[in-house]
Amino acid sequence: MKSRESKPNGFLEVSIWRGAEEGAFQHFQVPRRESQTVLDVVTYIQRHLDPTLAYRFACRVGVCGSCAMKVNGIARWTCRTHVSAVATTGPLEIAPLDHLPRLRDLVCDMGPFFEKWKQARGAFVPGAVPETGFAAIDPDSPARRQVEAGIECIGCGICYSECDTVAWRPEYLGPAALNRAWTLQNDERDGAHRKRLQAVAGDAGCHACHNQLSCNERCPKKLSPAAAIAGLKRASAVAALKGRL
Residue 17 binds another protein, judged by CB under 8 A = yes
Least distance in Å: CB of 49 to another protein? 20
Least distance in Å: CB of 211 to another protein? 6
DSSP symbols for the chain: -GGGSPPP-SEEEEEEEEESSSEEEEEEEEE--TT-BHHHHHHHIIIII-TT-----S-SSSSS---EEEETTEEEEGGG-BHHHH-SSS-EEEEPPSSS-EEETTEE--HHHHHHHHHTT-S--B-PPPTTSS----TTSHHHHHHHHHTT-----HHHHH-HHHHH-TT---HHHHHHHHHHHT-TTBS-HHHHHHHHSSTTSGGG-----HHHHH-TT---HHHHHHHHHHHHHHHHHTT--
Residue 17 interaction partner, one of another protein, ligand FES, none, beta carbon < 5-8 Å per kind: another protein
For ligand FES, the closer of residues 100 and 199 by Cβ is: 100
The 54-83 site mask, x for binding ligand FES (CB under 6 A), equals ---xxxx-xxxxxx---------x-x----
Least distance in Å: CB of 84 to ligand FES? 18
Residue 65 interaction partner, one of ligand FES, another protein, none, beta carbon < 5-8 Å per kind: ligand FES
Residue 236 binds another protein, judged by CB under 8 A = no
Contact set for another protein, span 77-136 (CB under 8 A): 95-96, 98, 102
Residue 151 binds ligand FES, judged by CB under 6 A = no
Least distance in Å: CB of 44 to another protein? 22
Q: Which residues would be at the binding site for ligand FES (CB under 6 A)?
A: 57-60, 62-67, 77, 79
